[in-house]
Amino acid sequence: MPATQATVELFSSAKAGEVDALQRAFASGAAVDAVDEAGWSATMWAARYHHLAAVRALVALGANPALRNGLNHDALDISAQHYLEDRAAAFAVQEFLQADAGYQRQRAQLTARAQSLARALAREFKGRSRRQRIAYANSDYEVVAEVAGMRCSFRVFAGGFDLVVHNFRAGPLVASLHLERHDNAAAPKLWGAWKPWGNDAANLPLYYDADTTSIQAMQGLMANPQCRTALEQLALGRFEWLVWVPGHMRFRCQTEGLDLVRTRMAALASVFEHLSRPLPPPLFKARALQWGTAGDPGVHCWGGTPAQPIACPTCATPFSRLASFSVDDDLLHNLEWKHPSIEAACCFGCALPDTASLTCVSYTDTLPRVVVQTETLAASEAHVWQERRFTLGPIGTKGLGRRSRLGGEAAWLQSDATPDCPGCQQPMHFLAQLASSSKGPIGADGGMAYVFICQACHMVGTVVQSH
């Protein structure tokens, strides 16, 4: 049979786990490491459906088991992603690949390439490199640097990197430039033709289900000549993308050439300059939170119930109080707040435990009013933590945990999620962060709650993040 037909047969037999058929396809001229439109090889497809015999046969025929697809995943990664379909079969495939000398040798070579690129990026952008395995990007090294005001993390793998700009804040913009099925030359044409939800929407899809505000923000971006020029200079290629979500920007770069990397970083800096909005300065210097004592019980509270009841809009159960900060404290008495304390409260039963959620409560009226509640899951009962008092101490003391603090800057578990005030649409001021503890678990996997305020609108925002 023709070689192209033989390659088609190789893929179909690998997916079905038919060893005899794939061996015949190979004998007929099929390239054992050929990849399809998505960048998948026959070995990846065999691993995807947990066909151990097919994976063994392909490796015996000379297939490279460490080959990676466009998402930077190899056969072992793909098997691991789908292990719940058949645990025993998936684990058997993974054990075989981990024990294969060829796989380990190829994997070591890829790691060495990633290390070399990480060192080059660290020198170029005056950052620091470290060995860091990051599952999302399947990267081996991380380079942390500040480039043109952008707080950057390069998650480096062999052949490229995932770049995360942690302080990119573009308001309501939630969009994705995802051109993996088009070559570089097509990108400017696609951007020029793009219209939201029209026939060209598939060429420049929005991130998940974008709302009207996000579509308008994307239209404004495309109408900005400087941003448009910068996006064209990125020259996005196959299996590359640029994503904006609240709080950060992510860019997948599939190149090791520093000249192109410099051009692209300059383009991203231009987008950052025109779109990103700065955060307000810290309210005051950071202080650690520490439990009160008999001699000094403290004026701030952890846990308990809000001074005025707040009903959850989702499940109707009462809100739990995370913390209450007395404005009589010397550190807070200059804040413009008409109530005796600043209360952070939300429904921890409804907040999804393994993601990020935001709750905003307005204290302008006599009774508090919930104006924003995101990422909810209806709870069956309220969660109320035992009330305890705490005081403030110097950073570094154990207290409620070294990560819990009042003032300073937020130390995010995920990317920056500083909320805009629902009233004035301006970024809210960071007030405090409280780490999960035995006294009150927050989210999942050692989560963190971040408290923000808008003094002008008397608004309190609580952001919950988990690892």
pLDDT in tens, 197-212: 333 333 443 433 445 5
Q: How many CB atoms within 10 Å of residue 338?
A: 9
As a whole number of angstroms, the distance between CA 101 and CA 81 comes to 22
Partners of 10 in beta bridges: none
As a whole number of angstroms, the distance between CA 51 and CA 158 comes to 27
302: which 2 tokens?
A: 């952890």
Helix or strand holding residue 71 (H, E): none
Among residues 304, 302, 284, 296, which one has the least CA distance to residue 401?
302
As a whole number of angstroms, the distance between CA 315 and CA 243 comes to 33
Percent of the chain past pLDDT 90, that is, above it, reads: 43
As a whole number of angstroms, the distance between CA 186 and CA 420 comes to 36
As a whole number of angstroms, the distance between CA 48 and CA 384 comes to 45
State the pLDDT at residue 198.
36
Under the banding of pLDDT at 50, 70 and 90, the label for residue 346 is confident
Lowest-pLDDT range of 77-81, 245-249, 363-367: 245-249
Lowest-pLDDT range of 54-58, 123-127, 256-260, 421-425: 421-425
Over residues 413-427, mean pLDDT: 85
State the pLDDT at residue 384.
67
State the pLDDT at residue 114.
95
E strand intervals along 363-406:
369-373, 388-393, 405-406
Residue written as tokens 């999942």?
Answer: 444
Among residues 323, 422, 296, 408, which one has the least CA distance to residue 370?
422
- Name which residue leads in pLDDT, 275 or 191: 275
Helix or strand holding residue 246 (H, E): none
Over residues 25-36, mean pLDDT: 92
97: which 2 tokens?
A: 């690949």
Quick check: 419 pLDDT over 80?
yes
State the pLDDT at residue 188.
39
Length of the chain: 467
Residue written as tokens 């942390």?
Answer: 144
What backbone torsions phi and psi does residue 406 show, to the nearest 5 degrees?
A: -120, 130
- Architecture of the domain made up of 3-99: Alpha Horseshoe (1.25)
Quick check: 20 pLDDT over 50?
yes
Model pTM? 0.71
Q: Is the dihedral of CA 207, 211, 214, 219 positive or negative?
A: positive
For 440-466, what is each residue's pLDDT tens digit? 556 545 688 899 999 999 999 998 887
Under the banding of pLDDT at 50, 70 and 90, the label for residue 45 is very high
191: which 2 tokens?
A: 């951007």
Under the banding of pLDDT at 50, 70 and 90, the label for residue 184 is very low
SS3 106: helix
Under the banding of pLDDT at 50, 70 and 90, the label for residue 148 is very high
Quick check: 190 pLDDT over 60?
no
As a whole number of angstroms, the distance between CA 466 and CA 449 comes to 9
Among residues 170, 139, 175, which one has the least CA distance to residue 156?
139
As a whole number of angstroms, the distance between CA 407 and CA 259 comes to 41
Among 194-203, 243-252, 283-292, the range with the most confident prediction by mean pLDDT is 283-292
Q: Which residues contact 24 (CB under 8 A, 6 or more apart)?
A: 9
Among residues 112, 81, 110, which one has the least CA distance to residue 94?
81
Q: Give how far the C-alpha of residue 22 lies from the chain's centroid of Cα atoms, to the nearest Å.
A: 39
**Which amino acid type is present at position 278?**
P
Percent of the chain past pLDDT 70, that is, above it, reads: 80
Decide if 401 contacts 291 (C-beta within 8 A): no
Kindly tell me the burial class for residue 433, based on how many C-beta atoms sit within 10 Å of its own C-beta (0-12, 13-18, 19 or more).
buried
Domain boundaries, the chain: 3-99, 115-275, 279-467
Q: Where are the alpha helices (H) located in 1-125, listed in sequence order?
A: 3-16, 19-27, 42-48, 52-60, 75-81, 87-99, 101-124
For 60-109, what is each residue's pLDDT tens digit? 999 999 999 888 889 999 999 898 899 999 999 999 999 999 999 999 99
Under the banding of pLDDT at 50, 70 and 90, the label for residue 376 is low
As a whole number of angstroms, the distance between CA 4 and CA 234 comes to 34
Among residues 287, 286, 291, which one has the least CA distance to residue 438?
291
222: which 2 tokens?
A: 């495309």
As a whole number of angstroms, the distance between CA 208 and CA 175 comes to 8
Over residues 121-130, mean pLDDT: 95
As a whole number of angstroms, the distance between CA 237 and CA 187 comes to 8
Over residues 356-384, mean pLDDT: 76
Quick check: 283 pLDDT over 80?
yes
215: which 2 tokens?
A: 């579509």
